Chain A
Amino acid sequence: MVSAIAAKAEVIAAPRREVESVVVRFAGDSGDGIQLTGSQFTMSTALVGNDLATFPDFPAEIRAPVGTTFGVSAFQINFGARRIMTPGDAPDLLIALNPAALKVNLDAVKAGGTIVIDTGTCTARNLRKAGFAGNPLEDGTLAPFKVTGIDVSRHTEEALTRFGLSQKDMLRCKNMWALGLVYWMYGRSRQATVDWLNRKFAKRPEIAEANIAALNAGHAFGETAEMGGGLSGFTVRPAALDAGLYRTVSGSEALAWGLVAGAQLAGLKMVFSSYPITPASSILHTLAPLRDYGVTTFQAEDEIAAVCSAIGASYAGALGVTSSSGPGIALKTEAIGLAIGTELPLVVVDSQRAGPSTGMPTKTEQSDLHQAVFGRNADSPVAVIAARSPSDCFEVAIEAVRLATKYMTPVILLTDGFVANAAEPWRIPDVDTLPSMPVFFATELEGFRPTRRDPETQAREWVLPGTPGMEHRIGGLERDFDTGNISYDPANHQKMTDLRIGKIAGIARDIPAQAVEAGNPGGRLAVVGWGSTFGPISRAVDNLRGAGLDVSHIHLRYIWPLPANLGDLLAGFEHVLVPEMNAGQLITLLRSRYLIDAEGLNKVSGQPFKISEIEAAVRARLEA
């Protein structure tokens, strides 16, 4: 049986070169199975104990015409024997399964890096379709790189003749052939992927076997063929990770599970309402099968109904959560105001994506910060927090639940397309040891008023409909501070406005003081980031500090309210540099709040920051 290959360590002929970290990018047509290939490689990488970070980069079109540049799908992974903070600036190895994939990704490859191209797809027609004037394999276009042309298509077909598949079905296994080759390069076991294929195609064993045969053929090719270029074997030793049980996790998964954990720790049932939108939908997909965990998911008719049903659920005593991306959050705006006015808990997850309107749905950006903090009619503050990495989503989701239920307020949780889709190793927490944060519903009948509040947090009591003797009415009309009845009294409106603002501002007393991630709590320059820029900023600051520069890294989880000590902390630096994947949103907040001369480093290309971009910006300020 082909599927019964042993998981024993691979025997290799030539000695393997040891490297500390590697960046690999797989690229091909959207129909080539690049994302699956990437996630399989990620799993095998995790299983050998490397640290890693991934960056799936795919088009919005489901199946763009074959061979076009806009149909190219790519998956980048950075793995190593040291801590890995980002998916890597530039690939050391590019596997391009067609000319369009080569064309789109060529600029990214490190000078001197290795390119493997499927020459079987390099017909004159495909080269033209990809926008090459001549043949890049011959005209010197690829001179700066080590290039290996392999007819992956033909090799795959040859390996699969005995299965009696159509040519189309055979070529579908091309990605596994390429994966087999890369597994050989990095000395990986194929077993986990073999198991996965057998599971995935349990109902169609012939397809599983064909894919496994292609995987094995690619691997055997690496072992036996004489290849030039950079195609030799490498070893990447395990990284020194903290002891514990690990898995890989994407931001969407960690966020979904964090919400479940938060609801359980609060002792609440969760109602998660959402309307499909990229890149937020994966949270809905992760939660939908989790009925047994106290989760009800609801695919609403639109984003307005999604947030409204979440508010209805919170009103009735569940944890209401809604999730979307920028355009959908815009639709939820009015209803978030209702949750503010009626003081009901609500978690709103915004997986940010690029551009105004529909923009670039599959590309990442951090440009909804102002929408989250300010984007509502009237003075209507909410708490806003942001996740920095895939695994961080778990903790941040729990924190969102804590704040929403403790302060009876909407909390907007910002992630982005990068955090949502990227994956990294995660030391699995023991949920049973997390501090519980039970919610209390109003029970004291004596002197009950719908506006009774906690004297410390100013949170309104949460009253469960169904409780005898506490029947009351709430709504979006301004309410009297004392009785909760409709009120147009001028002084009362002032008081209620102050109350709403003060309640959110008071959260600053209930969150940790802002810590310094790396470097000193004062000095020449602080790089201040939030959200998914965490990886590139920390690596850049590490590198710069290694080179002797006086740089510190401060990374915000709490966007609103800001941590109480932040103003003083920032005042201790000569320069404050704020890199953001937007035109300057956090910086506006910092400048207006603390009257400091912070400078922005802004990138809105739909791509994450490179480490080198942040290093260059810091150097420009410190070495000028």
Chain B
Amino acid sequence: MNVTTPPKKLTDKDFASDQEIRWCPGCGDYGVLKALQRTLPELGVPREKLVFVSGIGCSSRFPYYMATYGFHTIHGRAPAIATGIKLANRDLDVWVISGDGDGLSIGGNHLLHALRRNVDLNILLFNNEIYGLTKGQASPTSRPGTRSPSTPGGSVDYPISAARFALGAGAHFVARSVDTLQPHLMEMFRRAHAHRGTSFVEIFQNCLVYNDGVFAHFTDREVADDAQIRVKHGEPLLFGAAQDRGLRLKPGSLELEVVKVGEGGVGVGDVLVHDETSPVLAMMLASLTPPAFPVALGVLYCNPGACYEDALAAQAGPKAADGPKANLNALLRRGATWTVQEGGRIADA
């Protein structure tokens, strides 16, 4: 992202609009809003350069609460609209807000293509594993057996993993966090913003009305240390309250296993070191699920490549779309033309 120096130091309050927030009290969305409003002043982007674009859903109300430019669009299409904004003006700092239904069901195709094109967008996907705004139907991330008004007998379809979807679509940046982890969320936003190209951040978000506690098995304070692993580039993949458990490749296979440092001759040196540029490791980390494994949080993958608008601009050459316009009259006169003179005589041109 382009960073311009703002005239005065802003605070989180400067990024809050005057609109009354309409989420259910206690909704996980509040935490994400707060974390972003606290991160933005650090990024140094003037408010007028920020555009929040969302689809439809509880989470997609987000732009109304930001004192920036905001566009609340239609269900699932925010990545396409955001792409158009970038095609028109590369200088804007564009954030896309989406839910699991919005981004992975009706808008799955647009998310896929934004990711593969690597448009310079920050996409935040609020995953609450349920349709909140339409009152609690199962979503494409709901776990099998989820009981909801549309699946009274429990859902029977297999869920999609947002992070694995993003990696499969060719995303260059994939990170994960949780609505309640303020400092961690802020760090993910900083990283996402620093990455030029599409940055995809999946946020596990609690919907206390329709899906309360679906992430409790790895987010509750009592279990968090053992059920989460915070990955950091260049650091060993350790977790647990005492940081004494780690991930390594199971000998003779292409699978991760959990090992205890200090037991059975395992030293810290045997534990895998996180390499955020490795797509294979990213996919393995994104696939870990409790109870056998901890849930991986942090920047799973970051491997920058040319972003779409930049590549397009480079191809356009010096006379880019923003430059002075070529002469249309000359274009219209290119190729075979002829002149009809007064009286109808023809002269080849």
List residues of A whose CB falls within 8 A of some B CB.
43, 46-49, 192, 238-248, 257, 260-261, 264, 269, 271, 273, 290-296, 298, 300-302, 304-305, 308-318, 320, 334-335, 337-338, 342, 427-432, 465-477, 485-486
Q: Does B333 contact A (CB under 8 A)?
A: yes
Q: Is the CB of B70 within 8 A of A466?
A: no
14 A-B pairs whose Cβ atoms sit less than 8 Å apart in the complex: A43-B336, A46-B338, A244-B340, A245-B349, A246-B338, A292-B323, A293-B326, A293-B328, A305-B80, A311-B81, A316-B88, A471-B48, A472-B70, A473-B63
CA A47 – CA B317 in complex, angstroms?
A: 36
Q: Is the CB of B336 within 8 A of A247?
A: yes
Q: Is the CB of A472 within 8 A of B69?
A: yes
A442 shortest CB reach to chain B, Å: 13
Most buried by A among B53, B87, B91, B344: B87
**Which residues from B are CB-within-8-Å of A294?**
321, 325
Q: From B17, B67, B84, B333, give the contact of A313 (CB < 8 A).
A: B84
Asked if A296 meets B333 with Cβ closer than 8 Å, knowing A46-B338, A334-B74, the reply is no
Mask: chain B, 305-342; 1 = CB below 8 Å from A; 0 = not: 00000001001110111110110110111011111111
**Which residues from A are CB-within-8-Å of B348?**
47
**Which residues from A are CB-within-8-Å of B338?**
46-47, 49, 245-247
* Tally of contact residues, B, Cβ under 8 A: 67
Q: Does B89 contact A (CB under 8 A)?
A: yes
Q: Is the CB of B74 within 8 A of A465?
A: no
Other CB < 8 Å A-B pairs besides A49-B346, A292-B325, A431-B329, 4 of them?
A242-B340, A247-B332, A311-B73, A315-B88
**Which residues from B are CB-within-8-Å of A477?**
72
Q: From A296, A470, A485, give the contact of B312 (CB < 8 A).
A: A296
Q: Is the CB of B85 within 8 A of A246?
A: no
Asked if A474 meets B84 with Cβ closer than 8 Å, knowing A246-B339, A264-B325, the reply is no
CA A234 – CA B58 in complex, angstroms?
A: 74
Q: Does B250 contact A (CB under 8 A)?
A: no
Asked if A304 meets B92 with Cβ closer than 8 Å, knowing A260-B328, A309-B84, the reply is no
Most buried by A among B86, B331, B345: B331
Q: Is the CB of A48 within 8 A of B81?
A: no
Q: Is the CB of A470 within 8 A of B48?
A: yes
Q: Does B13 contact A (CB under 8 A)?
A: no
Q: Is the CB of B68 within 8 A of A269?
A: no
Q: Is the CB of B69 within 8 A of A243?
A: no
Q: Does B71 contact A (CB under 8 A)?
A: yes
Closest B residue by C-beta to A302: B109
**Which residues from B are CB-within-8-Å of A465?**
48-49, 51, 69, 85, 89, 92
B289 shortest CB reach to chain A, Å: 30
Q: From A46, A248, A292, give the contact of B326 (CB < 8 A).
A: A292
Most buried by B among A298, A320, A470: A298
CA A238 – CA B339 in complex, angstroms?
A: 12
Mask: chain B, 49-61; 1 = CB below 8 Å from A; 0 = not: 1010100100000
Most buried by B among A244, A247, A471: A471
B64 shortest CB reach to chain A, Å: 5
Give the 8 A-B CB pairs with smallest separation, nearest first: A312-B84, A475-B72, A309-B84, A308-B80, A318-B88, A473-B70, A316-B88, A49-B346
Q: Does B134 contact A (CB under 8 A)?
A: no
Q: Is the CB of B71 within 8 A of A291?
A: no
Q: From A239, A241, A308, give the contact of B81 (CB < 8 A).
A: A308
CA A430 – CA B333 in complex, angstroms?
A: 10
Most buried by A among B17, B56, B338: B338
CA A475 – CA B112 in complex, angstroms?
A: 23
B36 shortest CB reach to chain A, Å: 15
**Which residues from A are CB-within-8-Å of B271?**
none
Q: Does B163 contact A (CB under 8 A)?
A: no
CA A431 – CA B332 in complex, angstroms?
A: 9
CA A157 – CA B220 in complex, angstroms?
A: 84
B49 shortest CB reach to chain A, Å: 6
CA A308 – CA B71 in complex, angstroms?
A: 12
Q: Is the CB of B113 within 8 A of A305?
A: yes
Q: Does B155 contact A (CB under 8 A)?
A: no
Asked if A471 meets B67 with Cβ closer than 8 Å, knowing A292-B325, A316-B92, the reply is yes
Q: Does B233 contact A (CB under 8 A)?
A: no
**Which residues from B are CB-within-8-Å of A320?**
84, 88
Q: Does B245 contact A (CB under 8 A)?
A: no
CA A484 – CA B203 in complex, angstroms?
A: 30
Q: Does B77 contact A (CB under 8 A)?
A: yes
**Which residues from B are CB-within-8-Å of A48?**
346
CA A314 – CA B88 in complex, angstroms?
A: 8
CA A471 – CA B15 in complex, angstroms?
A: 10
Q: From A49, A296, A312, A318, give the contact of B344 (CB < 8 A).
A: A49
**Which residues from B are CB-within-8-Å of A300?**
80, 113
